[in-house]
Amino acid sequence: MDCVNCQGKCWRSGRQKNGLQRYYCPTCRKYQQARYQYKAYSGSTDSQIKSLVRESVCIRGIARVLGIARGTVLDRIRGLAATIMRPASQPDQVSLEVDELWTYVSRKDNEYWVAYAINRGNSAVVDFVVGKRTKSTLKQLIDRLLCLKPKTIRTDKLTLYERLIPKRMHRAGSICINRIERKNLSIRTHLKRLSRQTICFSRSLLMLESCLLVYFWG
Ligand SMILES: [Zn+2]
């Protein structure tokens, strides 16, 4: 059998508890099986989960399509999200657009904001914060954005922004944020948990953040 990691030759090396032949790769020093009873162990599962999250498939849907347990899907998404790094730096004098997406977690009255920023030049997501619909949530995001020393920050007319962003770099108004408003529509189309007002929604804040991390930078 060929190794799944290095494609080198593997040796037969005893049997698993369930009687299946076990193999050992001398190069990678790893044990493996030619076939697995639990499908989640095959190498492509993580990348499939990533693609399905982006294609508006819910957790149960992913579990059904891949034939693995729902708990495994949740674990994998959490694990994937933990390895994803937010983009550390941006080109100088970048022009940013900031907007908030309304959503809720577990109950309709438990409202949350996904506040995020995109680079106006290439529409790439620069940073995001998930939090209660308060000034402190926006402040967290704006403070991190100000560290990037942007040329301008464009927002909607929400008055909270006026108190957070220095006047010289602030532009407010619906025309200023046409790109991020288009992006909002894409996000709501591509992430099932943000698509609808009922039926599909986040039950935990951690999963909402994890799915956003996977969607933006995974
Ligand atoms: Zn190997």
Token readout for 55 is 């294609």
Cα of 7 vs centre of ligand 1, distance in Å, is: 6
pLDDT, position 195 = 77
Confidence of residue 91 (pLDDT cuts 50, 70, 90): confident
| Dist. CA 119–CA 156, nearest whole Å | 16
The one-letter code for the residue type at 215 is Y
- pLDDT at residue 40 tops 80: no
Listed in order, the ranges of the chain carrying CATH 3.30.420.10 are 95-203
Task: State the distance from the centre of ligand 1 to the C-alpha of 24, rounded, in angstroms.
Answer: 8
Computed over every residue of the chain, the mean pLDDT equals 88
| Residue 216 falls in which region: left (phi positive, over 0), alpha (psi -120 to 50) or beta | alpha
Fold entry, domain 95-203: Nucleotidyltransferase; domain 5 (3.30.420)
Assess whether pLDDT exceeds 80 at residue 136. Answer: yes
Buried b (16+ CB within 10 A) or exposed e, 117-156: bbbbeeeebbbbbbbeeeeebbbebbeebeebebebbbbb
139: confidence class by pLDDT, cuts 50, 70, 90:
very high
In the chain, CATH 2.20.25 covers: 1-37
Q: How confident is the model at residue 78 (pLDDT cuts 50, 70, 90)?
A: very high
Ligand 1 centroid–CA 21 distance in Å is: 17
Whole-number Å distance, alpha carbon 85 to ligand 1 midpoint, is: 28
Partnered with residue 117 across adjacent β-strands are 98, 127
Contact predicate 210/81, CB 8 Å: yes
- Residues 177-188: what's their mean pLDDT? 90
Question: If you measure from the C-alpha of residue 30 to the centroid of ligand 1, how many angstroms do you get, rounded to a whole number?
Answer: 7
Instruction: Tell me, in angstroms, the distance from the centre of ligand 1 to residue 143's CA.
Output: 46
> Is residue 153 within 8 Å of residue 171, measured between CB atoms?
yes
- Specify the length of the chain in residues: 218
Identify the CATH number of the domain defined by range 1-37. Answer: 2.20.25
How far, in Å, are 59, 130, 177 from residue 114 at the CA level?
A: 20, 5, 16
Q: Ligand 1 centre and the CA of 53: distance in Å?
A: 30
Q: From the CA of 43, how far away is ligand 1's center (Å)? A: 13
Measuring CA to CA, how many Å separate 127 from each of 72, 96, 144? Answer: 28, 10, 8
Tokens of 129: 């914060």
pLDDT at 200: 67
Q: Determine the distance separating the centroid of ligand 1 and the alpha carbon of 32, expressed in angstroms.
A: 9
